Amino acid sequence: MYTNAGLSVRPWVISQTAVASTSVTRLSKWASMASPLFSAGLLPTPSSSRESCREGRISGNCEWERRRNSGIKRVGLLRAKLGRGDFGWIRKQNGLGLGLQTQVKDGRDLLVPSARRGFLTELQSLREETENPPGPVEFESPLGVILYPDPRLRKKNKKISVFDERLQELVTEMFDVMYKTDGVGLSAPQVGVNVQLMLYNPEGERGKGQEYVLVNPKIVKYSKQRDIFKEGCLSFPELEADVERPLNVRVEAQDVKGKKFAISLKGWQARIFQHEYDHLEGILFHDRMTTEAVSTILPGLVQLEEAYEKASGLPAPEKVNRV
């Protein structure tokens, strides 16, 4: 249980077999718990609070506006943007708040959640469950690598919650695709499956090296040391350019059976992981390049965009800056 200044929040356990009814129950609990905060002005209402404050129609939730306009530092405030709704500013005053801390660095206030941030975590978790209810991974065989600028490369990737034979089948088929295309790593969105799954083999050859599978990975630590290396990508055939990345990373993830683990990666493996991890975040390798590096592959990017338009009959969903 999370407790702060008389406010208690208990995490709720979600049953995968009753997600819809449980989510409704949690919404009801959240509403009843948040109602006093809205009434007391500790939480602005999601509807047009800023505009009403500016126009003088309300006063209870205008603290954030007065602070911004007066130049007062936003001490003890946290911006919580959850989904489409804008829950505005959460105020910590006279001991109240939701476990927030203020740190000072270089004379600036850095607003960070403390360890007791369960309330906000619950809201984020609830939003994700509502948008992406737990279920088995869905895909159609045979898989193939999709090319830039296919919009699926930029889509949000769903967290995997069901670890079954279907997931293992996806992993097996992804390795097949990776080896056939001479890759050393591959992410699920690159084969049109928008889930948080990536895999790699540093040797890039079946039967050699070690195969790694990471489900729902997160980078928890980067090294300060960085290096520059020429990268390629299966979604950008025959295009290579320099990309700068941290030399080492510390990663937490789950395996194909759902077991959690942590691993430290260095050098070549760290670079492969970061490249594939970027795909799970909707980031493509040319996003990490300098302008000079992008210019070296610009003709190839333009060709891929034109090929997409010709094949789909649609305008490219994104185009690289041609200047």
- Could you give the residue numbers annotated as active site? 276
Distance (Å, rounded) from C-alpha 194 to C-alpha 137?
A: 9
Question: CA quadruple 140, 142, 148, 149: dihedral positive or negative?
Answer: negative
Distance (Å, rounded) from C-alpha 187 to C-alpha 176?
A: 13
Which pair of structure tokens corresponds to residue 27? 């919404």
DSSP class of residue 3 equals E
Distance (Å, rounded) from C-alpha 283 to C-alpha 276?
A: 9
DSSP states along 8-49: EE-PPPPPTTSHHHHHHHHHHHHHHHHHHHHHTTSS--SSSH
Burial of 197 (0-12, 13-18, 19+ CB in 10 A): buried
Could you tell me how far CA 108 lies from the centroid of its own chain? 26
Q: How far is CA 5 from CA 97, 196, 283, in A?
A: 7, 37, 40
Find the DSSP H helices in the chain: 19-39, 49-54, 63-70, 118-131, 165-180, 267-280, 291-312
Task: Give the CB-side neighbour count of residue 200, counting CA atoms within 13 A.
Answer: 20
Distance (Å, rounded) from C-alpha 213 to C-alpha 171?
A: 8
Is residue 99 a contact partner of residue 116, using CB atoms and an 8 Å limit? Answer: yes
